[in-house]
Amino acid sequence: MSSYIGRFAPSPTGPLHLGSLYTALASFLDARHYQGTWLLRIEDLDPPREEAGATEKIIETLQAHHLHWDNAVVLQSQRSERYETVLENLADTGHSFFCTCSRKQLAAYPQGYPGFCRHHQTQSANGKNAAIRLKTDGIQQTFIDLLQGQQQLPKRPDGLTNDFVIKRKDQLYAYQLAVVIDDIDQGVNVVVRGNDILDSTFKQGYLYRALGHTPPAYLHLPVIAAADGQKLSKQNHAPAIDNNQALDNIRQALALLNQPMPPTHLNLPNTLLFSIEHWDRQYLSRDAWLTTADNVSG
């Protein structure tokens, strides 16, 4: 690849924990190993799920671990105008429609969208109390994940579509919309992220097509679980990373990534240089879940 552009795109729902540091480190090492650019974007689109101060804490933790990014940090909360412009463009080109279905109406169709609102005209309907959905077509989507191999969108039962929400009824922009617009605008061409969002890749694929762009390459890492099998997350009280243990944390994340261990006498910057040089995708485990020892699950 001529000019690799990767990124780490955390949602500020809490401070980084070992599972998110592992994802950050993988995307950093992969980008740096291939002489790429590595960007930081804060996906602060969902205020009810965010925690005050989390953005600052994430930034501090990345800095304390010498995971230095290129260019200025992009905050999604500052990009509403751009998202609105793209939404207008999708409406004008017939790619989207207002959806006024209630949660109750949709509850009977957990496997897809039954298409009730497809006939609405985005221009004429009143969007105040409506979500906006992307109109998806029947094309069978596939992609080859750099780690997980060939992936195929599961077939929907007859009569159901993949039409998904790109602006929510509460008027918040959907993650799917923002992530695609930002990755396009930032020129991102390699995405390294957790396997828990692999399925979103298909939705994002529809958006790339609707916007006339080619999707990036993807590498979906196994998600780190605590010893009880739950994904490490704020919800299950994964402990925040201790910035005073940066070298240990990086070594722990490297072990989870199954990379060659740097000699113990190296300091943090040299540990990272060693790992950039020795980074190898082939050592990564494919498994959907990697379980940590009890001592790191808290």
Question: Of 147-186, which residues contact ligand GLU (CB under 6 A)?
Answer: 179
Please report whether residue 205 would count as binding ligand GLU according to CB under 6 A. no
Of the candidates 5, 11, 21, 61, which one interacts with ligand GLU according to CB under 6 A? 11
* Burial class of 256 by CB neighbour count within 10 A (0 to 12, 13 to 18, 19+): buried
Specify which residues 219 forms β-bridges with. Answer: 192
Question: Of 32-91, which residues contact ligand GLU (CB under 6 A)?
Answer: 43
Q: Does residue 208 have a known ligand-binding role? A: no
Using CB distances below 5 to 8 A depending on partner kind, what does residue 99 bind out of ligand GLU, Zn ion, none? Zn ion
Specify which residues 191 forms β-bridges with. Answer: 218
**Given the complex with ligand GLU, which of 45 and 254 has the nearer CB atom?**
45
Q: Which long-range contacts (CB under 8 A, 24 or more apart) does 1-5 make?
A: 1/34, 1/36, 1/189, 1/190, 3/36, 3/37, 3/189, 4/31, 4/34, 4/35, 4/36, 4/37, 4/189, 4/190, 5/31, 5/36, 5/37, 5/39, 5/186, 5/187, 5/188, 5/189, 5/190
Of the candidates 4, 5, 6, 9, which one interacts with ligand GLU according to CB under 6 A? 9
Q: DSSP class of residue 48?
A: G
Q: Which of 210, 213, 42, 197 is nearest to 133 (CA)?
A: 210
Q: What's the half-sphere exposure (Cβ side, CA atoms, 13 Å) at 162? A: 20
Compute how many residues bind ligand GLU; rule: CB under 6 A: 7
CA 110 – CA 98 distance, rounded (Å): 19
Question: Of 185-204, which residues contact ligand GLU (CB under 6 A)?
Answer: 193, 197
Q: Does residue 103 have a known ligand-binding role? A: no
Using CB distances below 5 to 8 A depending on partner kind, what does residue 11 bind out of ligand GLU, Zn ion, none? ligand GLU
**Given the complex with Zn ion, which of 131 and 207 has the nearer CB atom?**
131
The residues binding Zn ion (CB under 5 A) are 99, 101, 116-117
Q: Does residue 130 have a known ligand-binding role? A: no
CA 183 – CA 179 distance, rounded (Å): 6
Please report whether residue 10 would count as binding ligand GLU according to CB under 6 A. yes
Tokens of 100: 């006024």
Q: Which of 281, 239, 270 is nearest to 20 (CA)?
A: 239
CB of 115 to Zn ion, least distance (A): 8
Using CB distances below 5 to 8 A depending on partner kind, what does residue 193 bind out of ligand GLU, Zn ion, none? ligand GLU
Cβ density class 61-96: b for 16+ within 10 Å, e for less = bbebbbbebeeeebebbebeeebeebbeebbeeebb
Please report whether residue 136 would count as binding ligand GLU according to CB under 6 A. no
CB of 235 to Zn ion, least distance (A): 29
**Given the complex with Zn ion, which of 29 and 99 has the nearer CB atom?**
99
Using CB distances below 5 to 8 A depending on partner kind, what does residue 208 bind out of Zn ion, ligand GLU, none? none
CB of 39 to ligand GLU, least distance (A): 11
Q: Annotated binding site, which residues?
A: 7-11, 43, 99, 101, 113, 117, 175, 193, 234
Q: Annotated binding site for ATP, which residues?
A: 234
Q: Annotated binding site for L-glutamate, which residues?
A: 7-11, 43, 175, 193
Q: Give residues in contact with ligand GLU (CB under 6 A).
A: 9-11, 43, 179, 193, 197
